[in-house]
Structure 1
Amino acid sequence: MIDVLIIGGGNAALCAALMAREAGASVMLLEASPKAWRGGNSQHTRNLRCMHDEPQDVLIDAYPEEEYWQDLLKVTGGITDEKLARIAIRASSSCRDWMRSHGVHFQPPLSGALHVARTNAFFMGGGKALVNAYFRSAERLGVKVRYNTQVTDIELDDGKFVAAHIGEREVDGQHVAAERIEARACVLAAGGFESNREWLREAWGQNERGEWPSDNFLIRGTRFNTGILLRRMLDLGADVTGDPTQAHMVAIDARAPLYDGGICTRIDCVSLGVVVNRDGERFYDEGEDFWPKRYAIWGRLVAGQPGQQAYSIIDQQAIGRFMPPVFPGTAANTLQDLARQLKLPQAQFVKTIEDYNNACRVGTFDHTALDDCHTQGLTPAKTHWARPLVKPPFYAYPLKPGVTFTYLGLATDETAAVHFNGKASPNLFVAGEMMAGNVLGKGYTAGIGMAIGTAFGRIAGVQAAASVGFGISPANTESRHATV
């Protein structure tokens, strides 16, 4: 019998598999996707938010624990488990050497990635290189990896894991029979439900305009996170955390593919101009804070607009100050022509821009700092980086909500155990997006998802191995955190 079964194939699952195997347990990893699409949402990532008290290799200056915590507290509005959050924060300061030992390489941030040279360590080759390195290391250590293997059911005995069930399926044109896989312990790391259109519709419902907002969502993450295992765990009575409508939701290019657009579909010029809805009206402060701390609120903001549609508008002054999008913007030499091309109400659009221009109080523009360029007497205000849009050509980028991962998940504790009626399972653990809602009640800040996944993936792997007699004692908290 397998000692530890890992269900999932992203960063958290791989960290769990590697730690359990390093502890001496036999490990099998089940990945729902084909090999070419392995890695879950981790393949679309590019960095890890890291606590550090002094400069460390690719990280400059310092990013101490309390500042990290305050950044997380701000974006979540306080909807976070401080104990679990601080575990992830502290673990982020010391995990990189372990990551390097499994083939992950780091590099300084690209010049267009503003404000994160101090806080985020970037993966050389991005998330795809990271998951490939982990898979290579896992296989080298003897972890058995199976692809095209969607777990459809979990067998429990009074909260204790017994077996995973895999349904009948077609793989490369061949019929594969249903299976039952027993293991002495299990780690659930199979992601959220963002690719389940029916579940999104159920969660978001209809708005006051009679629209079904989720019908217009794009999924910038993996198409394989359909929430089958999460739904089953809810049915089995696992304790739950999070709001099904909360997610890492970004305003992305409306022309992006329905699934797997990844990070390149993001539009990063929002703070350099204004954003209008399809009625030609602004609806939120584009200069509220640095973009890495605010980019993930804009998907939800756009989701609240008519048709779940908006447009980021800039002028020539912004060019060269942000990472260029994949698709070119709509360009025009006049605001009237831009409105015509976008099919926006021309008079209202021009008035919106002119009102904004007239309200700008330009001081010393500096997009690398919280500058003193702001609006006055305008609602909503723009509190930083406010400059009149007066230099043609003008550019527009269409925006829609892009869901990376959902926050509804399984409640857990510092051991990463799954809970049933407040009682921790002795051999069933959870990591990654399936438990990220414990830390992320809402909002997001760049790189925190990988910090949570790495920390709790490693904890889950250690604890799963320990629950079946390998490595530390499951109750030995001090040893566990020294290891992780």
Structure 2
Amino acid sequence: MVDVLVIGGGNAALCAALMAREAGASVLLLEASPREWRGGNTQHTRNLRCMHDGPQDVLVDAYPEEEYWQDLLKVTGGQTDEKLARLVIRASSNCRDWMRRHGVHFQPPLSGALHVARTNAFFMGGGKALVNAYYRSAEALGVQIRYNAPVDAIELDGERFVAARIGDERIAARSCVLAAGGFESNRAWLREAWGQVNGEWVADNFLIRGTRFNMGVLLKFMIKAGADAIGDPSQSHCVAIDARAPLYDGGICTRVDCVSLGVVLNRNAERFYDEGEDFWPKRYAIWGRLVAQQPGQIGYSIIDSKAIGRFMPPVFPGIQADTLAELAQATGLDVPTFVRTIETYNAACRVGTFDHAVLDDCHTEGIAPAKSHWARPIDTPPFYAYALRPGITFTYLGLKTNEQAAVHFDGKPSPNLFVAGEMMAGNVLGKGYTAGVGMSIGTAFGRIAGTQAARSAGQPATTSHGVSHAVA
């Protein structure tokens, strides 16, 4: 019997396994995917949002706790547990040295990297390199790792973990960390969460930006077993991505980042939201849900040549035309309505000093929805269109937890069952998103869960990395 069983193979699971092993516990990690697809959604990440009170290695200026908290409060609309959120924020300030000890390298953000040079630390080689570094470190430390090991049931004795099951196989452990992700790959569950509009399942037009292996089997089992749940099943990290993206694992390269530089139209060739409401890193993750609420769950980002070179180019080129009418025709939208919408927007633009790096004074007047910033007429050919679909990265329905990362049953924390990552992110993310915070949550709670699991298994918890917590 091992001391600590970790179920999952992404960032949170790996942080938990490493912390538990550093504390002296024997650790077995079960990853549902084959080795070549290991790492869950972490393989698609690029950075970690970090609190810091002054310039630090790859981070410029300062990003203090209160500003981080206000950013999170704004995007979640207050649907967040402040105590747990501030725990994540503070933990983000002191984790990078620990990450480096396990082989993670950081780099300054590239020029034009979505205004996040001050707030986010970028991984050299992206999330895949981070995943590989953590697995190498785990193997070197003696963590046992099994691939193709999807856990489908948990054996409980009241609130206490006893064993996990993979089909007929039973795996006992003294303590356990659940870090097996959400249910974004489970189309049936997405259908149930989003329902129907005009007799059509909304979720059938969704693409899965993240891993294909997050079916939510363990999450559903735990909820049915009486674990306390938190979050709205329809809420998720949902990004507007290129409609031509693959069904699974499109990752960052399928995101369309020119929204704030133009306008977005629905299938009826009408605008439906303020494209310049705030900086793109604070708003990109609302656009998937906005598109999901439009007819046919499709939108069209429209720009002109003035925008080219000002955003990260997606993997697919946009549809190009020399006139607005030709662009409308090429996208299949009603030509007169399309042209009228763009011309009305153009006439409403009040162009001041355009600066995409600040909340500038270029705005619209007299139209709804307004465009608050970066509003310039779309009048310089060639014109471009990108068809958009909702791209689900991870879902927010999860298990309720506390500062010790314990799973709760009727409000009572388990003494030896813990949760981290996407399976509990809904405690902090009731809705919305801001770049890099998912990795902050997974890193903070993965480290806490691993520490607590080792302690629960009878190992002395480490205090050397700023993540020491008393058991509730």
What TM-score, normalized to structure 2? 0.98
Change (3 A) 1:458 1:239: same
Letter in 2 for 1:128: K
Q: In the alignment, what sits opposite 2:49?
A: 49
Contact in 2 for aligned 1:296/1:445 (Cα 8 Å): yes
Is 1:126 the counterpart of 2:126? The answer is yes
Report what 1:273 is aligned to. 262
**How far off its partner does 1:222 sit?**
0.2
Query: Are 2:189 and 1:199 equivalent residues in the alignment?
Result: yes
Distance 1:270 1:401 in 2: 14
1:136 aligns with 2:124: no
- What's the offset of the Cα at 1:159? 1.0
1:63 maps to a residue whose letter is Y
| Residue 158 (structure 2) aligns with | 158
Distance 2:381 2:185 in 1: 40
Write the letter of the residue equivalent to 2:315.
V
- Tell me, yes or no, if structure 1 residue 467 matches structure 2 residue 460: no
Unpaired stretches in structure 1, ≥5 consecutive residues: 168-177
> How many percent of aligned residue pairs carry the same amino acid?
79
Shift of 1:111: 1.6
1:387 is matched with 376
Residue 383 (structure 2) pairs with residue 398 (structure 1): no
- Please give the alpha-carbon distance, in whole angstroms, between the structure 1 residues aligned to 2:114 and 2:236: 23
- State the distance in 1 between where 2:156 and 2:311 align: 50
> Which residue of 241, 244, 248 maps to 1:259?
248
1:292 aligned residue: 281
Judge conservation of contact 2:237–2:394 (CA < 8 Å) in 1.
yes
Q: Match for residue 442 of structure 1?
A: 431
Distance 1:14 1:251 in 2: 29
| Shift of residue 113, structure 1, vs aligned partner | 1.1
Write the letter of the residue equivalent to 1:392: P
Q: Which residue of 2 aligns with 1:112?
A: 112
Q: Which residue number in structure 1 is paired with residue 73 of structure 2?
A: 73
Confirm or deny: 8 A CA contact 2:209 2:392 kept in the other structure: yes
**Shift in Å, 1:39:** 0.1
One-letter amino acid matched to 1:98 = W
What SS is found at the alignment partner of 1:449? helix
Residue 211 of structure 1 deviates from its aligned partner by 2.3
What is the match of residue 172 of structure 1? none
Residue in 1 that maps onto 2:365? 376
Shift of residue 253 of structure 1?
Answer: 0.4
- Displacement of 1:210 in angstroms is 2.6
Aligned-residue offset at 1:112: 3.1
**What is the DSSP-based 3-state SS (H/G/I as helix, E as strand, rest coil) of the residue aligned with 1:455?**
helix
**Secondary structure in 2 matching 1:391:** coil
Report Cα offsets for 1:354-385 as digits up to 9, x if no partner: 00000000000000000000000010000000
Query: How far apart in 2 are the matches of 1:365 and 1:472?
Result: 53
Equivalent pair of 1:467/1:473 in contact (CA under 8 Å): no
Partner of 2:292: 303
Name the CA distance, whole Å, in 2 between partners of 1:112 and 1:219. Answer: 26
Whole-Å Cα distance in 1 between the matches of residues 288 and 262 of structure 2? 17
RMSD: 1.2
Specify which of 158, 179, 201 is matched with residue 189 of structure 1: 179
Task: State the alpha-carbon separation in 2 of the partners of residues 331 and 111 from structure 1.
Answer: 26
Tell me, what secondary structure is at the counterpart of 1:156? strand
The answer to whether the 8 Å contact 1:472/1:479 transfers is no
For residue 472 of structure 1, report the CA deviation from its aligned partner. 3.1
Structure 1 residues 346, 153: CA separation in 2 closer, same or farther (over 3 Å shift)? same
Tell me by how many angstroms 1:473 deviates. Answer: 9.4
Matched-pair contact (CA < 8 Å) for 1:184–1:468: yes
User: Within 1, Cα distance between the matches of 2:11 and 2:3?
Assistant: 20
In the aligned structure 1, how far is the partner of 2:19 from the partner of 2:315? 37
1:479: Cα distance to partner? 7.0
- Name the stretch that deviates more: 112-121 or 299-308: 112-121
Alpha carbons 2:3, 2:173 under 8 Å: kept: yes
Deviation at 1:110, TM superposition (A): 1.6
Aligned partners of 1:473 and 1:108: how far apart in 2? Answer: 30
Residue of structure 1 equivalent to 2:40: 40
Q: Secondary structure at the match of 1:151?
A: coil
Could you tell me whether the CA contact under 8 Å between 1:252 and 1:267 is conserved in 2? yes
Question: Hey, what does 1:63 align to over in structure 2?
Answer: 63
In the alignment, is residue 234 of structure 1 matched against residue 223 of structure 2? yes
Summarize the Cα distance change of 1:362–1:146 in structure 2 as closer, same or farther, 3 Å threshold: same
What SS does structure 2 have at the residue aligned with 1:480? coil
Distance 1:473 1:446 in 2: 30
Paired with 1:336 and 1:473, the residues of 2 have a C-alpha distance of 65
Instruction: For 2:162 and 2:254, locate their aligned partners in 1 and report how far apart those are by CA, in whole Å.
Output: 41
1:60-101 per-residue CA deviation (whole Å, 9 max, x = no partner) reads 000000000000000000000000000000000000000000
Paired letter, 1:222: T
SS in 2 for 1:382: coil
Aligned-partner residue type, residue 462 of structure 1: T
**Deviation (angstroms), 1:16:** 0.1
Contact residue 313 and residue 395 of structure 1 kept, 8 A: yes
- Per the TM alignment, residue 350 of structure 1 is displaced from its structure 2 partner at its CA by 0.2
The alpha-carbon deviation at position 313 of structure 1 amounts to 0.3
Paired letter, 2:307: A
1:276 deviates by: 0.2
* 1:405-444 matched pairs, under 5 angstroms: 405-444=394-433
Q: How far, CA to CA, are the matches of 1:111 and 1:262 in structure 2?
A: 20
SS at match of 2:172: strand
Which runs of 5 or more structure 2 residues have no equivalent in the other structure? none
> What is the CA deviation profile of residues 282-329 of structure 1, one whole-angstrom value per residue up to 9, with x for unaligned ones?
000000000000000000000000100000000000000000010000
Secondary structure of the residue aligned to 2:28 is strand
Runs (4+) of structure 1 exceeding 4 A deviation are none
Normalized against structure 1, the TM-score is what? 0.96
How many pairs are equivalent?
Answer: 468
AA partner of residue 448 (structure 1): V
Measure, in 2, the Cα distance between the counterparts of 1:395 and 1:156. Answer: 56
Question: SS where residue 396 of structure 1 aligns?
Answer: strand
Native 8 Å contact 2:451 2:467 kept in 1: no
**Equivalent AA in structure 2 for residue 108 of structure 1:** P
Counterparts of 2:356 and 2:347 in 1: how far apart (Å)? 20
| Matched letter for residue 384 of structure 1 | H
